[in-house]
Structure 1
Amino acid sequence: MTTSAPPTEPADRFATARQVADAVLFEGYVLYPYRASAAKNRLRWQFGVLVPPHWGAAGAEHSAQRTECLMEPRRGARLSAEVRFLHAQRRIVQRLGTDGEFHTVDELELPDRVLVPWDEATEERVTLEADVATLTGEGLTVPFRRPAHEETEPVHDADGRRFGRLVRTRAAVEGRVRLRAQELDGPYAALRLTATVENTSDWTPGDADADRAAALPRSLVGAHLLMALSAGAFLSMTDPPEWAAAAVAACRNEHTWPVLAGAPGRADVLLSSPIILEDYPAIAPESPGALYDALEIDEILALRTAALTDQEKREARGTDPRAADVIELADTMPPEVLERLHGAVRALREVTGPDPGPAAPEDPFAAPEVPGVRPDTPWWDPESDRSVDPVRDRITVDGQQVGAGSRVLLKPGRRRTDAQDLFLHGRAAQVEAVLHDVDGGVHLAVTVEGDPGADIRREQGRFLYFQPDEIAPVEDA
């Protein structure tokens, strides 16, 4: 059985996982600054695009995605699956002429928005359910088809008079979902489940359809798969039990990646996404709404959107209803909601230190007196803690004392460095300071010998930093 309508049962097993799946589905749908004219919005939909086979054979994109995972179903278990994707539709703008006919135009001006041509999308779902026992052998294949469609929407001016319309057209798209289970060798009652989602649209691009824009209306955009077991569990693909590690490594996933989804601790729901996720992905509770542009930081994106000019906001509102929602979200976001986007602490650990002792009874707001610490100096000032001295402190490296003025050879490792540091491997440097962080780590501030800007670095305190195991002491001649 296939359907494109949302499930109506009150207890939706995919409800929690679908919150993340929605973010995957609409990732890159419309990007900041949310206008059709913006360069960022001229090449959209980068994830999970399954193109028609004839287009995929000629280009770099693919027409199918394959998911393989392990599951431990109980006797009589049923597997529910839901394929979700966007079906792109073209929207053109037409103005009503004096001759009573509609003529295609580049834009229609309204008081609060500017309507322009744009590729929208409708959400599609293909659902299926089967007994796990029936998936062995040939498995289950479910074809689906979404027919071509056209609809119009009238556009009225401020006085309520009809002066234009929007025409939306969708091309036909076809596909199929294949599910097959295979028993694993060994004492464990586990199955390898293979799920394939394919675009089977019989469309061959002509000379006039040589660009990606022609293929998108016939593609499955943002395609991903949700699966659930009525009884039993899926195994984690990133942290499997030891007995299943080899079988998990042998699974072949193409253009998608399966993770455990839903409520943490449960393993009966799996999300196979074209974006690599971790087990039990979740939307940050601080997020006030969808912004569709995960390459940006929510706080910066909200501030930038609120700072758009009135004309830019009119263009964004006319580009797409979801872009209009983003503009409304940024314009009406309360300060306390924006403050939550500034940062969040997910976990805390206890940091021990000197006992500050009780505060003076007569001044409940007095700073605690800590030996060696000046209470009138900010915590970030080196003078606030006399127990350390970056200029005089020394540490032992390979049996030698190293401190400010010492010559060292740099040997940055690959574990915690970047490409720029690797270029300095084997170079001689001078230690300028020995620094201690709040976690007990030691960092050496250095200047590279032969650097013409070394004096400026010393003057401004802009050094390069390495840890003790990334340097080797050098004895002066």
Structure 2
Amino acid sequence: MSAFPSGIEQGFATARQIADAVLLEGYVLYPYRASAAKNRLRWQFGVLVPPEYGARGGEHSHQRTECLLEPRGDDDRLAVELRFLRAQRRTVEQTAAIGGFEPVERLELADRVLVPWDEGVEEKVELLLDVKELTGQGVMRPFRLPATAALELVRENGTAVGRLARRREQVDGLLRVTAEELPGPFRALRLTVVVENTSDWTPPRGADREEALPRSLVSAHLLLGLEHGSFLSVTDPPEWARPAVEKCRNEHTWPVLAGPDGGRRVLLSSPIILEDHPQIAPESLGTLYDATEIDEILALRTAALTDQEKREARGTDERAGAVIDLAESMPPEVLERLHGAVRGLREVTGGAAAGEQPWWDPGNDPHVDPEQDRVMVDGTPVGAGSRVVLRPGRRRTDAQDLFLHGRSAVVEAVLHDVDGSVHLAVTVDDDPGADLWRAQGRFRYFQPDEVTPLDGPAPVVEP
């Protein structure tokens, strides 16, 4: 049972749909076998390691979330839910011929193949605090998860053929929650929540990440909720709050609004950058743990695994086995829903009559001409035929373009979009496929501030 009031708990219930996706992002990747190379280096987001290991290995031992909130009244309360996975190390033993059990790397069963694996156990720490007690020294709450060990007997046809040994290491942590009043006519607070791994573990010489993970907070993130008040967006704050938001310091996490129906009473602080009010696609049937894949492709690939591969996946983890079962039981009409979805439609009114220019047809707009237009870059007009050096910025969503930094290219066209932005279509020098891309009208696109003119003004192309 939750320790939170019903109003907060209802908001958290909606936000947990996204929070669960954050918690289990990359938990086990296709093809869902422990032997797969990409499942040998797991848990890349929100890992808070013991501080001494962090000092040696470069990983973080804390997260810091800062945001603005507007409490309502002096009796408003803040709910804090820290959620993370705890690595549970599972080893496999088989029944020995002389009695007892002996460790093995693989235990073959009729329906699955058991192998050593780190399972993820969901943990949470909950606080319900009066907002008024957060100012000044604030609230500090240490927590401890003790070490545990358990054995599970494995039977086949009624006979004990082995056992699974599971162990969790002790994990210590600290939650620090403080707030400060902001000056101005609006009553607002800057809230700071720090999550720390305080485990007193001294890593032995040469200790690697695998030894640190069982003592770490994995995929750590926060749900914050107000009983009556509201949070302000860190991504798109109101103008009066923008200067204060810009002073917020978020380290290794990013806060977004996550309340139901666009509400502002719940905030998710995630180690993965999200937008305000993120949502799970309604077509999604369940967690596939692999956000780098499209659900349709992943479901088809999973269903196409061999029987032996499915046995290995089922023996790797219960969650992996659930994905196999989901892919096998998915009816065709459900799979079709994953093929594409229309999120919104708008009525088209006043369509263009015969011979009339539609809105907006750049080919018929006399104000734009991709082959003749020029844009000023560092005082030099750049257009079709100009040679430039590519310097893609960090804001780009296509990481592949970063590999082109410093390469020279030829501008093929200057393009304008409906928002007034300018884009340069280019072909990269020494690209063996440049002629083919040019013939097909396929280019790479950069903004003017991402190129440097190479050889002065562009030649004027005669119409």
Normalising by structure 2, report the TM-score.
Answer: 0.82
Mapped to 1, the partners of 2:243 and 2:183 lie a distance apart of: 11
Deviation at 1:454, TM superposition (A): 7.3
Q: Is the 8 A contact 2:53 2:212 kept in 1?
A: yes
Deviation at 1:23, TM superposition (A): 0.5
Indicate how the Cα distance of structure 1 residues 451 and 270 shifts in structure 2: closer, same or farther if over 3 A, else same. Answer: closer
Q: Paired residue for 2:251?
A: 254
Q: Is the 8 A contact 1:65 1:254 kept in 2?
A: yes
Q: Paired residue for 1:211?
A: 208
Mapped to 2, the partners of 1:247 and 1:437 lie a distance apart of: 33
Moved more, 75-84 or 449-458: 449-458
Pair 1:116 & 2:100 matched: no
Deviation at 1:265, TM superposition (A): 2.8
Partner SS for 1:111: coil
Pair 1:292 & 2:289 matched: yes
Pair 1:474 & 2:456 matched: no
Q: Deviations over 1:27-50 (max 9, x none)?
A: 111111100001001000011111
Q: Is the 8 A contact 2:411 2:425 kept in 1?
A: no
Residue of structure 1 aligned with 2:269, choices 256, 269, 272 = 272
Residue of structure 1 aligned with 2:26, choices 4, 28, 32 = 28
Mapped to 1, the partners of 2:259 and 2:135 lie a distance apart of: 26
Q: Paired residue for 1:173?
A: 171
Q: Is the 8 A contact 1:65 1:256 kept in 2?
A: yes
Deviation at 1:113, TM superposition (A): 0.6
Indicate how the Cα distance of structure 1 residues 444 and 252 shifts in structure 2: closer, same or farther if over 3 A, else same. Answer: closer
Deviation at 1:462, TM superposition (A): 5.7
Q: Paired residue for 1:139?
A: 138
Mapped to 2, the partners of 1:128 and 1:101 lie a distance apart of: 45
Indicate how the Cα distance of structure 1 residues 455 and 225 shifts in structure 2: closer, same or farther if over 3 A, else same. Answer: closer
* Identical-pair percentage: 62
Mapped to 1, the partners of 2:425 and 2:142 lie a distance apart of: 64
Indicate how the Cα distance of structure 1 residues 8 and 318 shifts in structure 2: closer, same or farther if over 3 A, else same. Answer: farther
Deviation at 1:98, TM superposition (A): 2.6
Pair 1:347 & 2:347 matched: no
Indicate how the Cα distance of structure 1 residues 96 and 266 shifts in structure 2: closer, same or farther if over 3 A, else same. Answer: same
Partner SS for 1:128: strand
Partner SS for 1:317: helix
Moved more, 342-351 or 142-151: 342-351
> What runs of 5+ residues in structure 1 fail to find an aligned partner?
356-369, 373-387, 400-405
Mapped to 2, the partners of 1:230 and 1:338 lie a distance apart of: 40
Deviation at 1:464, TM superposition (A): 4.1
Mapped to 1, the partners of 2:181 and 2:39 lie a distance apart of: 46
Mapped to 2, the partners of 1:287 and 1:143 lie a distance apart of: 38
Deviation at 1:349, TM superposition (A): 4.2
Q: Is the 8 A contact 1:256 1:276 kept in 2?
A: yes
Pair 1:15 & 2:13 matched: yes
Indicate how the Cα distance of structure 1 residues 394 and 267 shifts in structure 2: closer, same or farther if over 3 A, else same. Answer: closer
Mapped to 1, the partners of 2:224 and 2:336 lie a distance apart of: 37
Q: Paired residue for 1:385?
A: none
Deviation at 1:271, TM superposition (A): 0.8
- What letter corresponds to residue 43 of structure 2 in structure 1? W
Partner SS for 1:153: strand
Q: Paired residue for 2:82?
A: 83
Q: Is the 8 A contact 2:3 2:126 kept in 1?
A: no
Partner SS for 1:203: coil
Mapped to 2, the partners of 1:125 and 1:336 lie a distance apart of: 38
Q: Is the 8 A contact 2:257 2:276 kept in 1?
A: yes
Partner SS for 2:325: helix
Correspondences of 1:92-241 after superposition (within 5 Å): 92-157=91-156, 159-207=157-205, 210-241=207-238
Indicate how the Cα distance of structure 1 residues 342 and 473 shifts in structure 2: closer, same or farther if over 3 A, else same. Answer: farther
- What letter corresponds to residue 474 of structure 1 in structure 2? V
Indicate how the Cα distance of structure 1 residues 261 and 165 shifts in structure 2: closer, same or farther if over 3 A, else same. Answer: same
Q: Is the 8 A contact 2:224 2:268 kept in 1?
A: yes
Q: Paired residue for 1:363?
A: none
Indicate how the Cα distance of structure 1 residues 138 and 328 shifts in structure 2: closer, same or farther if over 3 A, else same. Answer: same
- What letter corresponds to residue 344 of structure 1 in structure 2? A
Q: Is the 8 A contact 1:28 1:293 kept in 2?
A: yes
Deviation at 1:348, TM superposition (A): 3.2
Deviation at 1:138, TM superposition (A): 0.7
Q: Is the 8 A contact 2:370 2:415 kept in 1?
A: no
Q: Deviations over 1:97-139 (max 9, x none)?
A: 2322011111111111101110002111100111100111111
Mapped to 2, the partners of 1:200 and 1:437 lie a distance apart of: 51
Q: Is the 8 A contact 2:408 2:429 kept in 1?
A: no
Partner SS for 2:195: strand
Mapped to 2, the partners of 1:272 and 1:428 lie a distance apart of: 42
Q: Is the 8 A contact 2:29 2:39 kept in 1?
A: yes
Deviation at 1:203, TM superposition (A): 0.6
Aligned length: 428
Q: Is the 8 A contact 2:372 2:460 kept in 1?
A: no
- What letter corresponds to residue 219 of structure 1 in structure 2? S
**C-alpha root-mean-square deviation of aligned residues, in Å?**
3.7
Mapped to 2, the partners of 1:57 and 1:466 lie a distance apart of: 41
Deviation at 1:442, TM superposition (A): 12
Partner SS for 2:85: strand
Mapped to 2, the partners of 1:190 and 1:128 lie a distance apart of: 21
Deviation at 1:407, TM superposition (A): 7.5
Partner SS for 2:260: coil
Q: Is the 8 A contact 1:435 1:443 kept in 2?
A: yes
Q: Is the 8 A contact 1:445 1:465 kept in 2?
A: yes
Normalising by structure 1, report the TM-score.
Answer: 0.79
Mapped to 2, the partners of 1:442 and 1:65 lie a distance apart of: 38
- What letter corresponds to residue 53 of structure 2 in structure 1? W
Deviation at 1:343, TM superposition (A): 2.0
Correspondences of 1:359-374 after superposition (within 5 Å): none
Deviation at 1:160, TM superposition (A): 1.6
Q: Is the 8 A contact 1:446 1:463 kept in 2?
A: no
Correspondences of 1:62-77 after superposition (within 5 Å): 62-75=60-73, 76-77=75-76
Mapped to 1, the partners of 2:55 and 2:232 lie a distance apart of: 34
Q: Is the 8 A contact 1:6 1:125 kept in 2?
A: no
Q: Paired residue for 2:379?
A: none
Deviation at 1:283, TM superposition (A): 0.7
Deviation at 1:334, TM superposition (A): 1.3
Deviation at 1:347, TM superposition (A): 2.9
